[in-house]
Structure 1
Amino acid sequence: MRILHISSEATWRGGEQQIAYLIQESMSRGQAVEVLCKSDSAFQNWCEEQSIPYRTAPFKNSFDLYSAWKLRSYIRDSRIDLIHIHSGKGHGVFALSTLLGVRTPAILSRRVDFPLKNNPWSRWKYGLSQIKHILCVSDAIRALVLEKVSDPERVSTIHSGIDLSRFEHLKPKSLHEQYDIPRNRMLIGNVAALAPHKDYRTFIRTAERCVDSGLPVHFFIIGEGDERSMIESEISRSGLQSHVTMTGFLQDIPAVLAGLDLFLISSETEGLGTSILDAFAAGTPVIATAAGGIPEIVIHEQTGLLCPIKDDQCLAFSVKRLLDDTDLKERLRIGATEHLQQFTKQTVAQQTLAVYEEVLSALPSKTK
Structure 2
Amino acid sequence: MKILQLDMGREWRGGQRQVLYLMRHLQVTHGFETLLASPGNSPLGVRCGQLGLETVSLAGRFEVDPRNILKLRKLISSHGVDIVHTHCSRSASLGAMLKKACGVRLIHSRRVSYPVKGDLSKLKYRVANAVIAVSAEIGEVMASCGVPRENLHVIHSGIDPALYEQAAAAPKPVPTVIGVVGALSPQKGHAVFLKALGELAARRDDWSAMVVGNGELRPELEAATEALGLTGKVEFTGYRESSEALSRISILVVPSVDGEGSSGTIKEGWAAKVPVLCSDLVANLELVQIGRSGLTFANHDASGLARQLTVLMDDPELCERLSSGGLERLQGFTNTAMAEAVCKVYRTIG
**TM-score when scaled to structure 1?**
0.90
Tell me what 1:87 maps to.
88
- What amino acid maps onto 2:16 in structure 1? E
Deviations 1:171-229 (CA, angstroms, capped at 9, x unpaired): 767997xxxxxx6x310101111112112111110111111112411110011111111
Aligned mates of 1:265, 1:127 — CA distance in 2: 32
Aligned mates of 1:337, 1:223 — CA distance in 2: 24
Alignment match of 2:344 (pick from 348, 354, 358): 354
- What amino acid maps onto 1:301 in structure 2? G
- The answer to whether the 8 Å contact 2:168/2:272 transfers is no
Secondary structure (helix, strand or coil) at the match of 1:284 reads coil
Secondary structure (helix, strand or coil) at the match of 2:291 reads coil
Deviations 1:115-172 (CA, angstroms, capped at 9, x unpaired): 122x2312321222xx100001111111111112252111110011111111234476
Alignment match of 1:212 (pick from 184, 187, 202): 202
Matching of residue 135 in structure 1 with residue 110 in structure 2: no
Matching of residue 124 in structure 1 with residue 123 in structure 2: yes
Aligned mates of 1:264, 1:123 — CA distance in 2: 34
* Residues 8/245 of structure 1: CA separation in 2 closer, same or farther (3 Å cut): same
- The answer to whether the 8 Å contact 1:141/1:292 transfers is no
Count of residue pairs the alignment pairs up: 348
Secondary structure (helix, strand or coil) at the match of 2:144 reads coil
Aligned mates of 1:77, 1:6 — CA distance in 2: 17
The runs of at least 4 consecutive aligned structure 1 residues that moved more than 6 Å come to: 171-176
- What amino acid maps onto 1:55 in structure 2? V
* Residues 175/337 of structure 1: CA separation in 2 closer, same or farther (3 Å cut): closer
Q: How far did 1:320 drift?
A: 0.1
Q: How far did 1:72 drift?
A: 1.4
Tell me what 1:179 maps to.
none
Secondary structure (helix, strand or coil) at the match of 1:287 reads strand
* RMSD, matched Cα: 1.8
Tell me what 1:230 maps to.
220
- The answer to whether the 8 Å contact 1:162/1:278 transfers is yes
Tell me what 1:113 maps to.
113
- The answer to whether the 8 Å contact 2:98/2:104 transfers is no
Aligned mates of 1:39, 1:228 — CA distance in 2: 28
Tell me what 2:292 maps to.
302
Aligned mates of 2:316, 2:67 — CA distance in 1: 58
Tell me what 1:364 maps to.
none
Aligned pairs (5 A) from 1:305-344? 305-344=295-334
**TM-score when scaled to structure 2?**
0.94
* Residues 170/214 of structure 1: CA separation in 2 closer, same or farther (3 Å cut): closer
- The answer to whether the 8 Å contact 1:210/1:316 transfers is yes
Secondary structure (helix, strand or coil) at the match of 2:299 reads coil
Deviations 1:53-84 (CA, angstroms, capped at 9, x unpaired): 11111343343343222221221121101111
* Residues 64/199 of structure 1: CA separation in 2 closer, same or farther (3 Å cut): farther
Secondary structure (helix, strand or coil) at the match of 1:12 reads coil
Tell me what 1:286 maps to.
276
Secondary structure (helix, strand or coil) at the match of 2:97 reads helix
Tell me what 2:233 maps to.
243
For structure 2, list consecutive stretches of 5 or more residues without a partner in the other structure: none
* Residues 170/288 of structure 1: CA separation in 2 closer, same or farther (3 Å cut): closer
Aligned mates of 2:147, 2:86 — CA distance in 1: 20
- The answer to whether the 8 Å contact 1:265/1:289 transfers is yes
